[in-house]
Amino acid sequence: MEAKVSRGVQLPNWINPEKIARKPNSSLQFFQKYGEQRLYRVPASCNLLTKRGRFHGPAVLKISCSSESSPAFVLESGSYAASSDESKIIKNKSEEIEPYLNGRCIYLVGMMGSGKTTVGKVLSETLEYSFCDCDTLIEEAVGGSTVAEIFKLYGENFFRDNETEVLHKLSLMHRLVVSTGGGAVVRSINWRYMQKGISVWLDVPLEALARRITAVGTNSRPLLHHESGDPYSKTMKRLTYLFEERGEAYKNADVRVSLEDIAAKLGLEDVCNLTPTVIALEVLLQIENFLKR
């Protein structure tokens, strides 16, 4: 079958190139932050809407803050929770940072299942940026075939060429949070495009990725169809192989957000207790550090 890169990759109308950055006109005082200790009790019925559904769980959200370090969020009970307090804190932080982004796009990179879509949507909402998912844009550009179908019909190179073309187009835009495909980091040309914005690596332990992915199934992820065994071990084996190939490439990102580091900071044993909102807040804090450099 003949396969061509869809040169005419069309980006949807809602991605508006006219949304040009606002220039910062105030001082960098916003970097002086968090000089107090606060404790928030989250209502038992709180919940958080994510891509695939609602996470429920009662929790006490403790925030310890100092001018030396970033604030820490502890979900003492229950795994997934969000509250109006959490929303307010992330909103305040995004309002502080947003003028200094100067309209630059945020590119989330990371292994498949690392939460680029879930965390990306939280970020785009709080920053009042548009959200876009490269895989979805490629699917639209190729005429509605799914990623799995594109791999099957045309092969990985064809998919990668379209991925590059989509990233090229997005690099001309402003005020987007972009969820990139897990393998977008392997081509250096893609980094050239992502350098127009700020790239953020969501670094999630492979075991957590394998748990998340096996929970939803691997049908939509063609690169996971090679191994035999039970679904978790199969996924783990394949993720390990892919990470060996790509681990170094993820390090090119401007900012690294390690779920293990967040969990350690909060005294949590398992990264599974970190909500997308807490991770999104850490993304903003690490971007803030990056902007200060």
Residues that bind ligand ATP (CB under 6 A): 50-52, 110, 112-118, 135, 179, 182, 212, 216, 221, 272, 274-276, 279
Rounded to whole angstroms, the Cα distance separating 49 from 92 reads: 20
DSSP state of 115: S
Q: What are the angstrom distances between the C-alpha of 247 and each of 101, 182, 242?
A: 27, 11, 8
Looking at residue 50, its amino acid is T
Looking at residue 8, its amino acid is G
Are 15 and 132 a contacting pair, CB within 8 Å?
yes
Footprint of ligand SKM on residues 72-131 (CB under 6 A)? 112
Looking at residue 56, its amino acid is H
Q: How far is the CB of 104 from ligand SKM (least distance, A)?
A: 22
183 sits near ligand SKM (criterion: CB under 6 A): yes
Rounded to whole angstroms, the Cα distance separating 185 from 180 reads: 9
Spatial CB neighbours of 17, under 8 Å, sequence gap ≥ 6 = 172, 173, 174
Task: Considering the complex, state which of residue 120 and residue 291 has its C-beta at the smaller distance from ligand ATP.
Answer: 120
Rounded to whole angstroms, the Cα distance separating 214 from 103 reads: 37
Task: Considering the complex, state which of residue 156 and residue 270 has its C-beta at the smaller distance from ligand SKM.
Answer: 156
Residue 183 contact among ligand ATP, ligand SKM, none, beta carbon within 5 to 8 Å by kind: ligand SKM
Each residue 135-154 as x (binds ligand SKM by CB under 6 A) or -, in order, gives x-----------x-------
Task: Considering the complex, state which of residue 198 and residue 283 has its C-beta at the smaller distance from ligand ATP.
Answer: 283
Task: Considering the complex, state which of residue 99 and residue 222 has its C-beta at the smaller distance from ligand SKM.
Answer: 222
Q: How far is the CB of 167 from ligand SKM (least distance, A)?
A: 12
221 sits near ligand SKM (criterion: CB under 6 A): yes
Radius of gyration of the chain (CA): 19
Q: How far is the CB of 208 from ligand SKM (least distance, A)?
A: 16
The residues of the shown chain that bind ligand SKM, judged by CB under 6 A, are: 112, 135, 147, 181-183, 221-223
